[in-house]
């Protein structure tokens, strides 16, 4: 059989040599697959077998990246006038503080609001109520409605027990006590009339009755009351605050004080409490103990008092002391005071340190707001440099991984070995023998 015939027979798919070559090639592919299997089945750290390495979370904070904050000093805007223009100017300054780089408005909205708006008297409503009661008592007395007159006068006095004892409130209390005495005298209640007339004289020692206005028996009863209550007794006042008796401060509670017998008005006041008091009757036979209940003032009330003290201080020293107390209450060291002067609205910077209070400026333009704040701190934009965020290396593609490349080389070597083996095999009628000479 010639070489050509043998070659043609080998190329036939049914020839045993062709089938043998196919089996050997399949064996080579299997060998390559077994070589790569251990690496393909190995699971990457942190992932499922055969899966790619897990990606970093998109929300992870890169190491070394810190949040940069700027410390801004709080500044109090204090309206010392209370009219609409002053309040509007103060609010404008507060808005500038919001956008400032190193200064800020008060963080407590309630405290900031307490420093703006109308300067109302804390006791205004109670004073107005007592004045109405006095007018109603006088009207009832003129109509000879004596019980109504006495009741309205007594109600007005009770209204004033919870009012700070100022010259205005004490004078009003004396008027109410006098009308109460007139009603009781006309109603033939001599002891009650004498008690009210005596209290009137203690609250208003300089009061003199006009004979052209009052009947002689009224003037006589009023003078007679002055001679009553000659004895003296001790009273003990319990509570917290400053004790005032008949409008005069006598010390801090608890305190024991010697007073004349008869009627008195005892009140407790203080910067952090509400005024409370009562009308008492001191008898010559037993000591008197007066217990005034505690009544804490709300923060807005305390700040309102301090603000009014700054606005109504009698001189620069008094205003400076009041402003220092206001700054202590809101825990700030910087403030801008807005007030109305002869030429219009003015503003002044205040500090709790040198140089202290600054010059007074006329608020004529919006530019002034920047000038005022510049006295406290320059408005510079702070741009902190952030650290460079390291880039995360991209994962290699599957064919770039070292174990894949090694597996491919191993498979190629196996296939090449199989080809060499095939080239050295001699097929003769189904008999396979190894030809030591690979040449045909």
Bridge partners (DSSP) of residue 346 are 339, 362
- Give me the architecture of the 229-297 domain, per CATH: Sandwich (2.60)
Which element (helix H / strand E) includes 364? none
Q: What's the Cα-to-Cα distance from 64 to each of 241, 389, 390, rounded to whole Å? A: 56, 8, 9
Confidence (pLDDT) at 375: 85
Rounded Cα gap, residues 277 and 186, in angstroms: 28
Show Cβ contacts of residue 233 under 8 Å, excluding neighbours closer than 6 positions: 258, 259, 261, 282, 283, 284, 286, 287, 288
Rounded Cα gap, residues 359 and 323, in angstroms: 16
Among 164, 292, 296, residue whose Cα is nearest residue 237:
292
pTM of the model: 0.64
Burial readout 374-399 (b: 16 or more C-beta within 10 A, e: otherwise) = ebbeeeeeeeeeeeeeeeeeeeeeee
Rounded Cα gap, residues 200 and 174, in angstroms: 5
Is 78 within 8 Å of 94 (Cβ atoms)?
Answer: no
Rounded Cα gap, residues 257 and 236, in angstroms: 6
Among 90, 72, 93, 94, residue whose Cα is nearest residue 81:
90
Backbone angles phi, psi at 277, to 5 degrees: -170, -175
Q: What angle do CA 68, 70, 76 make, to 5 degrees?
A: 155
What does the domain layout of the chain look like in residue ranges? 3-45+402-434, 73-106+298-376, 121-227, 229-297
Bridge partners (DSSP) of residue 16 are none
Confidence (pLDDT) at 365: 52
Rounded Cα gap, residues 404 and 410, in angstroms: 10
Q: Tens-of-pLDDT digits for all 440 residues of the chain? A: 443 444 444 445 555 554 555 555 555 545 545 444 444 444 444 444 444 433 333 333 334 333 334 578 999 999 999 888 888 888 888 888 888 888 999 999 999 999 999 988 889 999 999 999 999 999 999 999 999 999 999 999 999 999 999 999 999 999 999 999 999 999 999 999 999 999 999 999 999 999 999 999 999 999 999 876 668 899 999 999 999 999 999 999 999 999 999 999 999 999 899 999 999 999 988 788 999 989 999 999 999 999 999 999 989 899 999 999 999 999 999 999 999 888 888 889 999 988 888 888 887 654 455 677 888 887 665 444 444 445 555 666 666 666 666 666 666 656 666 555 555 555 444 444 444 444 43
Confidence (pLDDT) at 101: 87
Q: How many CA atoms does the CB half-sphere of 393 hold within 13 Å?
A: 4
Is 310 within 8 Å of 303 (Cβ atoms)?
Answer: no
Is 157 within 8 Å of 279 (Cβ atoms)?
Answer: yes
Rounded Cα gap, residues 22 and 18, in angstroms: 6
Task: For residue 9, count CB atoms less than 10 angstroms from its CB and return exposed for 0-12, middle for 13-18, buried for 19 or more.
Answer: middle
Rounded Cα gap, residues 185 and 193, in angstroms: 5
Confidence (pLDDT) at 376: 85
Is 176 within 8 Å of 160 (Cβ atoms)?
Answer: yes
Bridge partners (DSSP) of residue 263 are 281
CATH code for 73-106+298-376? Answer: 3.40.50
Confidence (pLDDT) at 338: 92
For the record, the structure tokens of 208 come out as 């003199």
């Amino acid at each position: 059989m010639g070489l050509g015939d043998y070659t043609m027979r080998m190329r036939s798919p049914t020839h045993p040599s062709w089938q043998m070559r196919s089996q050997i090639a399949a064996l080579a592919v299997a060998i390559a697959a077994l070589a790569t299997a251990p690496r393909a089945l190995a699971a990457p750290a942190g992932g499922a077998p055969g899966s790619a390495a897990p990606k970093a979370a998109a929300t992870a904070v890169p190491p070394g990246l810190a949040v940069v904050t700027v410390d801004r000093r709080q500044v109090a805007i204090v309206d010392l006038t209370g009219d609409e223009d002053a309040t509007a100017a103060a609010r404008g300054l507060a808005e500038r503080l919001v956008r400032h780089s190193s200064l800020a408005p008060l963080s407590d909205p309630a405290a900031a609001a307490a420093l703006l708006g109308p300067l109302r008297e804390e006791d205004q409503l109670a004073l107005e109520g007592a004045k109405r009661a006095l007018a109603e008592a006088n009207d009832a007395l003129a109509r000879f409605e004596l019980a109504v007159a006495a009741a309205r006068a007594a109600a007005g006095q009770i209204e004033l027990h919870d009012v700070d004892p100022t010259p205005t409130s004490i004078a009003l209390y004396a008027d109410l006590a006098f009308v109460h005495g007139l009603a009781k005298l006309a109603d033939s209640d001599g002891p009650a009339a004498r008690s009210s007339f005596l209290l009137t004289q203690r609250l208003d020692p300089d009061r003199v009755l006009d004979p052209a206005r009052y009947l002689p028996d009224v003037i006589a009863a009023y003078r007679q009351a002055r001679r009553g209550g000659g004895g003296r007794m001790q009273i003990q006042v319990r509570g917290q605050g400053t004790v005032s008796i008949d409008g005069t401060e006598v010390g801090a509670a608890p305190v024991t004080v010697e007073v004349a017998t008869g009627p008195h008005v005892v009140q407790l006041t203080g910067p952090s409490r509400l005024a409370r008091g009562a009308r008492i009757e001191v008898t010559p036979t037993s000591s008197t103990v007066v217990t005034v209940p505690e009544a804490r003032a709300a923060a807005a009330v305390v700040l309102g008092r301090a603000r009014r003290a700054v606005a109504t201080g009698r001189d620069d020293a008094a205003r400076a002391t009041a402003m220092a107390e206001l700054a202590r209450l809101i825990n700030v060291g910087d403030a801008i005071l807005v007030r109305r002067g002869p030429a219009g609205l003015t503003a002044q910077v205040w500090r709790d340190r040198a140089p202290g209070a600054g010059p007074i400026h006329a608020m004529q333009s919006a530019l002034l707001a920047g000038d005022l704040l510049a006295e406290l701190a320059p408005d510079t934009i702070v741009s902190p440099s952030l650290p460079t965020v390291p880039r995360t290396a991209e994962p290699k593609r599957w064919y770039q991984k070292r174990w894949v490349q090694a597996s491919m080389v191993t498979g190629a070597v196996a296939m090449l070995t199989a080809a060499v083996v095939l080239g050295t095999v001699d097929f003769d009628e189904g008999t396979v023998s190894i030809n030591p000479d690979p040449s045909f």
